[in-house]
Amino acid sequence: MRPEWKEWAAEAKAEYPQANSALLPLLHRVQQQEGWLSPESLADVAELLGLSDQYVESVASFYSLFFKKPVGKKVVHVCMGLSCMLAGADELMHNLETKLGISQGQTTEDGQYTLLEAECLAACDLAPVAQINLRFRGHVTPDKADELLTEEKEVSS
């Protein structure tokens, strides 16, 4: 456990007196620092907040924005909810897999991209929807897979 996590836990508890409400902000800070949430980190967070390991693990698993294994510099989420599927999300995912040379759930060998599925991202009117490092992109039709990655390269470099 990093020493500052105790301080972060105290800050989260001061803001959200219920331990389970303090959990999300603390997990978020830990992930920002570590890049992902290891089993050890989750156990440390549980201890700091007086929650069970199982509870913390289940919360971290519920949210697709918490990473339970190391991810690349750019995390691409493709929404696989119903509206997005009807608008071609499956084909978009396939095109991204082909362009990156990885399957959904994997990270490119150079550590640049991780490709993940997401549940409905609550922007169904913009289907198909994708996110790169939490930035929304709407109307990402399958033919725009290349554009999505190129555009992000320009934004990030």
- Tell me the closest approach of the beta carbon of residue 63 to ligand FES, in angstroms: 16
Question: What 3-state class would DSSP assign to 117?
Answer: strand
List all residues 6 or more positions away from 125 whose beta carbon is below 8 Å from its beta carbon: none
Q: Which stretch binds ligand FES (CB under 6 A): 62-70, 76-84, 109-117, 141-149?
A: 76-84
Asked if 79 is part of the footprint of ligand FES (rule: CB under 6 A), the reply reads: yes
Given candidates 127, 130, 140, 148, which one binds ligand FES under the rule CB under 6 A? Answer: 127
Nearest residue to the partner ligand FES, using Cβ: 81
Q: Which is nearer to ligand FES, 25 or 138 (CB)?
A: 138
Can you list the positions of beta strands (E) in 40-122?
Answer: 74-79, 113-118
Residue range at the interface with ligand FES (CB under 6 A); choices 23-31, 38-46, 114-122, 143-151: 114-122
88 contributes a contact to ligand FES by CB under 6 A: no
Q: Write the CA distances from 135 to 63, 89, 104, integer angstroms.
A: 16, 17, 19
Q: Residues 6 or more apart from 100 whose CB is under 8 A from it?
A: 108, 113, 115, 149
Q: Give 126's DSSP letter.
A: G
What crossing angle do the helices spanning 19-34 and 39-49 adopt, rounded to 10°?
150
Among the listed residues 28, 36, 66, 83, the single contact to ligand FES using CB under 6 A: 83
Name the site residues for ligand FES (rule: CB under 6 A).
Answer: 79, 81-84, 120-124, 127, 129
